Amino acid sequence: MVVIFGVLAVAFVAAQTCQKSQIRLDKNQAIAKAKQQVDFTPRRTQIRLLRQGITSEPFWIVSLSIPGDGANRFRELAVVRIDANSGEVADVKPPQD
């Protein structure tokens, strides 16, 4: 009986961990969601999928920008981090006013 409960507990934990690590939001959905978070129309977009934290939860990191004058300068720049499983916006840098 104890073995059955042990196996069920391990299966439950494994199922929860796998569910949290799934990628339900695709690249294009993440870009669209990130664009909703800024008040400018980006001319450049870069996106990366990163796993963060001890549980390796997937996040889309979307960089939106408008180039400025000179090298490495931007008129506008924002980095949006989006949970790839839930689709929730984790943060926006620089934050909106």
Give the tens place of pLDDT for each residue, 9-20: 666 665 555 555
pLDDT at 81: 98
What would the pLDDT profile of 42-87 be if each residue is shown by its tens digit?
Answer: 999 999 999 998 888 999 999 999 998 877 788 999 999 999 999 9
Q: What is the mean pLDDT of the chain?
A: 86
Residue with tokens 């796998």: 18
**Residue/partner pairs of 48-56 with CB below 8 Å, 24 or more apart:** 49/23, 49/84, 51/21, 55/17, 55/20, 55/21, 56/21
pLDDT at 63: 97
pLDDT at 53: 87
pLDDT band at 30 (very low <50, low <70, confident <90, very high): very high
For 2-93, give the CATH class: alpha beta
